[in-house]
Chain A
Amino acid sequence: MRKFLLEGLLKRPLTEDAPTAEGNLATEIDRTAHRRLGRSLAIRMVDAGSCNGCELEIHALGNPYYDLDRLGLHFVASPRHADILMVTGPVTHNMKTALRRSYDAMPAPKWVVSVGDCALDGGCFRGSYAIAGGVDAVIPVDLHIPGCAPSPVDIMKGLLTILDSATASRAAGS
């Protein structure tokens, strides 16, 4: 283990600065998040019926390449601690109540981000007897991140957008 710790001191981190050509995305998130909420934007994630593909990519946001935490965006265990509710999957009838309750438990102001093609309108599961529809069939959605599954970079981009709109809504309100 000492070798690993020593390496950590001597080697550059794997964390990537700019995952896209559209500008320094990581810095952009950092700046916006900072302005809006200091270094704290808490995300609660609920799987409302996904195949688990989107969860894997959301998990990947925590790996050293993306390291979402360094930007002040972090996943929390309780909806009561959350600013953003991130929802994946078509909403199954069996998960409708749990999703609604998670949303209701969050303090305002709050935002909802739906992740993945099936979270939009049920995607390839649309029309099934077991599906209530997309996420907005149950709770209001502020932003949708498409993809099957969206890559970690796509999800980071989406979070940037929601941070911008959070900032704008505060400016309009004040």
Chain B
Amino acid sequence: MIDISQYLDITAEAPDRPAAQVHRLSRGEWRDAVERAAADGLTLLGLWGARASVTLALLDEEQARIGLLSFSPRNGRFPSVGRHFPSAQRLERSIADLFGLIPQDAPDDRPWLDHGRWGLSHPLGKAGQGKAQDYSFLPVEGHGLHQVPVGPVHAGIIEPGHFRFTGQGETVVRLEERLGYVHKGIEGLMQGAEIPRGAELAARVSGDSTVAYGWAYAQAVESALGVVPSARAQWLRAIMAELERLANHLGDIGAICNDAAFALMLARCSVLRENVLRAADAVFGHRFMRDIIRPGGVSVDLSGDGIARLRDLLADLEQAFPRMIELYDNTPSLLDRTVGTGHLSNALVRQFGAGGYIGRASGRGFDVRKVFPYGPYGQMDMTVPLRGDGDVNARIWIRIREVEQSLALLARLLETLPDGVPLIELPKPSGACQGLGLVEGFRGDILVFVALDRHGRIRRCHLRDPSWFQWPLLEAAIEGNIIADFPLCNKSFNCSYSGHDL
């Protein structure tokens, strides 16, 4: 058996992401490496295709090391990763859909993103004639079962996706998801694009994480070109990232409680969320702070007035938020809905490498800001909140703790904001190069891989949303719960459809 650690050469020590070295393996080495990685308990961080190769990102959480492995199959078939890493199955199905590279001996060979409606097959590989195809859901057998198909269009203001429930009475015995409805072909549009165009697309992968995606993309490009933006730019990025986290967590806390029919919490939290967005608009010129992070830095600097405005926001939130916690914690009828609902085990979040509040509510404490610190986070004092109970209540509490933490981080970031130019010019690449970005969005770790050609155009860009490793676990968390609690469980996960479908 091979020693997998020889490939894990990206460490946390580098001040920012180092240029990503990809280890090219033979078929046998690839098969051995995947088997070994699974046996050693490594985490799958990503798996993506290109025209003629597949690349695998592995994470050793204990050692804080990442490795990139690739294999170029000559016959268009590669040994399945999904056989050993269940978290890779949907990624593999997408690779087969988009590039026509087939995972051999894969446990699931159904299409995933391709619904047979593009008019062509394998749009990013050797494109062929597309054809409409039936999709077969997994068979369910047993007494007194009934099915409830939901979506793609849902009842509320929400993204589209299909859920196939099999119930026995009111109890869900199986949920099967079908996604891909909002597949926009972002990675196809990336190919051959200039760096700024890539940034525009990256900022539109998932609207709620536009700052985090902007940062992860910028990190990948900067690591490929070997540039480090100014400390001021890094601080400003972190300020925006924490504002984004605040806005999303505040919105989520209210919305989850609303799905347990407690509208007061939604009304109150949505006011706090709106206050964050208005401050972001006043200070950075956009409510979601979209398109402000650019490779090389940020396009908007923070003025003295801006700092004062943000300090006012923090003061207001510090006064208002404890009352929300008290309200949540002292409403037994609400806790009755959230405690014990949608339980997710530690074994599953570890197996799938699920991050964010979903991982942390079930005892997996991975947070990129802590394990692979980037920008100012290495100098910030932060503890990752962790719980073991893994239910809806736990996912709310992790968000509550992270709101408090973001408030503390923001205060510290504003206090220590260094001087400097916000944006530097990017150098021309000296040749083809590639880079890796890894950023903690509000939902979890976002991975971006960018390969540039010698003219500085994008050869390949892959953006992996944290939802890839969270969506499959929703199927597990809902099992044994009643169908009526699905909205509650789903909102407590709040996975991205657009980020996943790309």
Contacts and interface: CB of A to CB of B under 8 A. Distances in A.
B227 to A, nearest CB: 25
A127 B200 CA distance: 15
B200 A124 contact: yes
A130 B270 CA distance: 34
Interface residues of B, number: 51
Contacts of B206: 51-52
Nearest to B497: A52
A interface: dominant SS: mixed
A168 to B, nearest CB: 28
Contacts of A149: 207, 287-288
B287 A94 contact: no
B160 A98 contact: yes
Given A65-B271, A98-B181, A50 B331 contact: no
Highest count of chain B CB atoms <10 Å: which of A1, A47, A58, A118: A47
Nearest to A55: B157
B314 to A, nearest CB: 19
Contact of B274 (A48, A63, A95, A118): A63
Interface string B390-406: 00000000000000000
B160 A95 contact: yes
Highest count of chain B CB atoms <10 Å: which of A45, A97, A129: A129
A92 B288 contact: no
B64 interface: no
A56 interface: yes
A47 B160 contact: yes
Contacts of A4: 264, 268, 327
A35 B206 CA distance: 39
Nearest to A89: B182
B385 interface: no
Interface in B52-111: none
A1 B334 CA distance: 12
A125 B184 contact: yes
A54 B271 CA distance: 18
B182 A125 contact: no
A98 to B, nearest CB: 5
Contact of A92 (B155, B183, B268, B277): B183
B303 interface: no
Given A63-B267, A128-B188, A130-B185, A51 B205 contact: yes
B261 to A, nearest CB: 14
A113 interface: no
A98 B159 CA distance: 12
Given A47-B160, A53-B288, A128-B188, A77 B270 contact: no
A50 B123 CA distance: 21
A77 B158 CA distance: 11
A62 interface: yes
Contacts of A62: 270
B274 A65 contact: yes
Nearest to A101: B153
Interface residues of A, number: 48
Given A52-B159, A55-B159, A151-B287, A60 B152 contact: no
A130 B184 CA distance: 5
B294 interface: no
B174 interface: no
A102 interface: yes
Contacts of A118: 204
B117 A75 contact: no
Interface string A105-136: 00000000000001000001101111100000
A94 B153 CA distance: 12
A49 B268 contact: no
B360 interface: no
Contacts of A1: 264, 327, 330-331
Nearest to A105: B153
Contacts, number: 142
A51 B183 CA distance: 10
Given A51-B498, A52-B207, A92 B184 contact: yes
Contact of B152 (A45, A78, A90, A98): A98
A164 to B, nearest CB: 24
A140 interface: no
Contact of A52 (B181, B281, B323, B496): B496
Contacts of B120: 129
A92 B153 CA distance: 13
A92 B271 contact: no
A95 B182 contact: yes
Given A50-B498, A60-B270, A130-B183, A77 B210 contact: no
A53 B290 contact: yes
Nearest to A130: B185
A129 B182 contact: no
Contacts of A170: none
Given A92-B182, A95-B181, A77 B155 contact: yes
Interface string B119-137: 1100100000000000000
A94 B181 contact: yes
B153 A129 contact: no
A46 interface: yes
A52 B498 contact: yes
A59 interface: yes
B160 A64 contact: no
Contacts of B188: 128-130
A128 B189 contact: yes
29 contacts: A1-B327, A4-B327, A45-B157, A47-B160, A50-B182, A51-B207, A53-B290, A54-B207, A55-B158, A55-B207, A56-B207, A56-B208, A60-B273, A63-B270, A78-B155, A92-B183, A93-B117, A93-B118, A95-B152, A97-B117, A98-B152, A98-B181, A124-B204, A129-B120, A129-B185, A130-B123, A130-B183, A149-B288, A151-B287
Of all A-B residue pairs in the complex, the 10 with the closest CB atoms, nearest first, are: A53-B207, A130-B185, A128-B185, A77-B155, A63-B270, A51-B207, A52-B207, A93-B117, A129-B123, A51-B204
